[in-house]
Amino acid sequence: MNETTDLSIFESLSLITILKAMLILAAGWLLANFLRSLFRKTMESKISAHALAMYSRVIYYGVLIIFTVSTVDALGFDLSVLLGAAGILTVAIGFASQTSASNLISGLFLLGEKPFQIGDVLRIGNDTGEVISIDLLSVKLRTFDNLFVRIPNESLIKTTVVNLTRYPIRRIDLLVGVAYKEELARVKAVLLELANDELRVLEEPTPFCIVTGFGASSVDLQLSVWTQRELVRDVKSDMYERIKARFDAEQIEIPFPHLSLYAGSATGPFPVAGPEAEGE
């Protein structure tokens, strides 16, 4: 009975009906592409690249779904039966793909929160790279050594995400160790002078230098300066080179780790003898 009914439906389809359905589907595809392109051109300068990509997909697939349903209706199929089957299929797929659904919902949260956008540089766990794509299920990064990293949206919601390019300026903390014999006021004055002489270092916020602690073989200091975010790497490298050169010129010692053995202030130095002395 069912086979007979199905055959009768296909036999009743005329060439005109098929052509009509194909025209509806083609019109839907053309309209979907047109509306997506129009939305991109109109809203490109008004919303972020993240939102632009997401809304463009919604418009495109939304129009396609509407015209696909119209095509099926034009062919004479019973939509109620198809919708019932689609509902059962959706429930089955939902149970089988809970992770994908979680990533999809997380992607919607990221769309509303907007913690980053395409082109930003993120640090997520051990991965650092530029955002090249933000999709419904995942975010794609390109690392600085040109590796492709895909991170599920659910992981982004649950972990700490550091946006390195969110603000136009960043602080650089330069860590320096000097010998205990050095005069700290003089060392701090030299470091601040180097910071003020560097043209790429911003005058505001003001650079500062502090003592951070006593190390195993050095007094540890931190020189903090502010610069534009795109200059961070170059300024940090150049400042370290200038600190080394200036310390050499000023005869400020940068100590290396070493170990001294003693047993109290009254204990003399341990005798050191070579193989010949031991033989005697």
The tens digit of pLDDT for each residue in 204-245 reads 999 999 999 999 889 999 999 999 999 999 999 999 999 999
Do residues 70 and 22 make contact, with C-beta atoms less than 8 angstroms apart? no
Average pLDDT over residues 14-36: 82
Token output for 120:
């930003």
Average pLDDT over residues 31-45: 84
Report the alpha-carbon distance of residue 39 to residue 44 in Å, rounded: 8
Residue 174's closest CA among 194, 144, 153, 199? 194
- Enumerate the CATH 2.30.30.60 domain ranges in the chain, comma separated: 112-163
Segment holding 140, helix H or strand E: strand 138-143
- Enumerate the CATH 1.10.287 domain ranges in the chain, comma separated: 11-96
Asked if the model's pLDDT at residue 257 lies above 90, the reply is: no
Q: Is 2.30.30.60 the CATH classification of the domain at 112-163?
A: yes
Specify the range with the lowest mean pLDDT, choosing from 74-88, 143-157, 170-184: 74-88
Per-residue model confidence (pLDDT) at position 251:
95
Report the alpha-carbon distance of residue 60 to residue 70 in Å, rounded: 16
DSSP characters over 165-201: TSSSEEEEEEEEEE-TTS-HHHHHHHHHHHHHH-TTS
Q: Which CATH class is domain 169-250?
A: alpha beta
State the pairing for strand pair 219-228/161-163.
Answer: unpaired
Average pLDDT over residues 154-161: 90
* More reliable by pLDDT, 82 or 20: 20
Average pLDDT, the chain: 82
Do residues 131 and 139 make contact, with C-beta atoms less than 8 angstroms apart? yes
- Enumerate the CATH 3.30.70.100 domain ranges in the chain, comma separated: 169-250
pLDDT tens digits for range 119-138: 999 999 999 999 998 887 88
11-96: CATH architecture:
Orthogonal Bundle (1.10)
Asked if the model's pLDDT at residue 107 lies above 90, the reply is: no
